[in-house]
Amino acid sequence: MKKDLITLNDINQKEVLSLFEKAALLKEKRNQGEPHKSLEGKSLGMIFSKESTRTRISFEVGMYELGGQAIFLSSDQLQIKREETAADSAKVLSRYLHGVLIRTHEHEFLEEFAKNATIPVINGLTDLNHPVQILTDIFTIQEKLNRIEKVKVAYIGDGNNVAYSWILGATLMDMHLTIASPTDLRPEIPKTLDGPGRLDLFEDPLKAAEDADVIYTDVWVSMGDENGAEKKERLKNYQINQNVLKAAKPNALVMHCLPAHRDEEITSEVLDGPQSIIFDQAENRLHVQKAILDTLLK
């Protein structure tokens, strides 16, 4: 792998599969209560300017279980708040830490930080990209279906950072991704798409869901989005419900990266239903991210 994980363009298919093997092994070791302290003495700095449940806790627990420590650094507690540049912050923190996780709004800040850091930098989410989430999602699909290649994933809803990252991930791993959203809410199409996967865009969610192996959604209004009420109105016909499930394969899996706004983008009936793997998906953030940490920080 490259030094950093900023987008899924930083990793190839072989490296993804190797990460998944390591994640499965680390998951098994944890379930068996077997110590796995490969990062003893290592420190991960975690810079957060966005709220978090899964990202913060899974990375903190992951570093602890790997024998290292995670240091939570809220952006308003750092000199970044007083306009210290990303470059200067990166150069200083590189002298103290073994890696940095950043969860922020501006993707450009993350890129500038990584360019000036001499230690690995991991993208924990930006307004453009969420690579650790999509790696986890694909790992979970492999775990449940025992395959990745040609799996059809129907993403229904807002074309946000998760949808953008799904385009990169599905292309890379030879999956078939369909996206259903209003035309003006479609995700940006990445300039570089490296891989054999297929992408189809729809306005009709039932068309996108047709014969899908996986139905996927995310919140309609992301953090910091100022057009919330308008977007909810535009997306009201893009809810994951029983009608959408009926259009997919009979045993299609249901996924959501959480947090969920129940009975908006997904009904509680579907979220809690027998086809939902949403909480397995959330758990796997821990195992996949431990594999990433073990690979980049060792």
What is the CATH number for 23?
A: 3.40.50.1370
Query: Any idea which of 3-12, 49-58, 73-82 has the lowest mean pLDDT?
Result: 73-82
The whole-number average pLDDT for the span 34-49 is 97
36 and 162 part of one domain: no
**In the structure, what pLDDT confidence band is assigned to residue 116 with cuts at 50, 70 and 90?**
very high
Query: What is residue 227's predicted lDDT score, i.e. its pLDDT?
Result: 67
Please say if the pLDDT value at position 159 is more than 70: yes
Same domain for 33 and 147, yes or no, is no
Q: Are residues 124 and 260 in the same domain?
A: no
Q: Identify whether 216 is part of a domain.
A: yes
Q: Residue 56 corresponds to which tokens in the numbers above?
A: 């913060």
Q: What is the count of structural domains for the chain?
A: 2
The answer to whether residue 176 is catalytic is: no
pLDDT-based confidence at residue 81 (cuts at 50, 70, 90): low
Instruction: Indicate whether 137 belongs to any domain.
Output: yes
3 found inside a domain = no
Distance CA 90, CA 121 (A): 9
**Domain identity same for 177 and 37:** no
Which one is catalytic: 54, 56, 130, 256?
A: 130
265 touches 235 (CB < 8 A): yes
| 48 and 110 Cβ atoms separated by less than 8 Å | no
Catalytic residue at 257?
Answer: yes
Catalytic pick from 218, 239, 281, 289? 218
Is 2 among the domain residues? no
Q: Which region holds residue 108: left if phi is over 0, alpha if psi is between -120 and 50, else beta?
A: alpha
Same domain? For 40 and 159 the reply is: no
Range of the domain at 193: 133-281
In order of 88, 98, 203, 227, the CA distances from 296 in angstroms are 22, 9, 40, 38
Query: In terms of domains, do 37 and 68 share one?
Result: yes
What's the 3-state SS for 65-84?
Answer: HCCCEEEEEEHHHCHHHHCC
Closest CA to 144 of 12, 283, 289, 292: 283
Q: Indicate whether 267 pLDDT > 70.
A: yes
Same domain, 276 and 170: yes
Q: Please indicate, yes or no, if residue 1 is contained in any of the structural domains.
A: no
**Are 277 and 185 in the same domain?**
yes
Q: Is residue 86 part of a domain?
A: yes
Q: Report the percent of the chain where pLDDT is more than 70.
A: 98
pLDDT of 163-178, one tens digit each? 999 999 999 999 999 9
Cα–Cα dist 123/18, whole Å: 19
Indicate which residue of 103, 176, 256, 287 is catalytic: 103
pLDDT higher than threshold 90 for residue 79? no
103 is catalytic: yes
pLDDT band for position 80 (50/70/90)? confident
Query: Which residues fall within 8 angstroms of residue 25, CB to CB, at 6 or more apart?
Result: none
Q: Within this chain, do residues 272 and 147 fall inside the same structural domain, yes or no?
A: yes
Catalytic residue among 285, 287, 289, 294: 285
**Residue 243: pLDDT band with limits 50, 70, 90:** very high
pLDDT tens string 220-234: 998 667 568 899 999
**Based on the domain organization, do 110 and 146 belong to the same domain?**
no
Instruction: Specify whether 169 is located in the same domain as 96.
Output: no
Indicate the average pLDDT of the chain.
Answer: 96
Q: What is the pLDDT of residue 228?
A: 82
More confident of the two residues 270 and 74: 270
- The number of angstroms, rounded, from the C-alpha of 24 to the middle of its chain's C-alpha atoms is 18
pLDDT value, residue 229: 87
d(C-alpha 205, C-alpha 26), whole Å: 37
Q: What is the pLDDT of residue 283?
A: 98
DSSP assigned state of 90: H
Out of 54, 98, 127, 133, which one is annotated catalytic?
Answer: 133
| 270-276 average pLDDT score | 98
Query: Do 160 and 277 have their domain in common?
Result: yes
Average pLDDT in the 203-214 region? 98
pTM for this model (two decimals): 0.96
Of the listed ranges 13-22, 68-77, 142-151, 250-259, the one predicted with least confidence: 68-77
Backbone angles phi, psi at 223, to 5 degrees: -60, 130
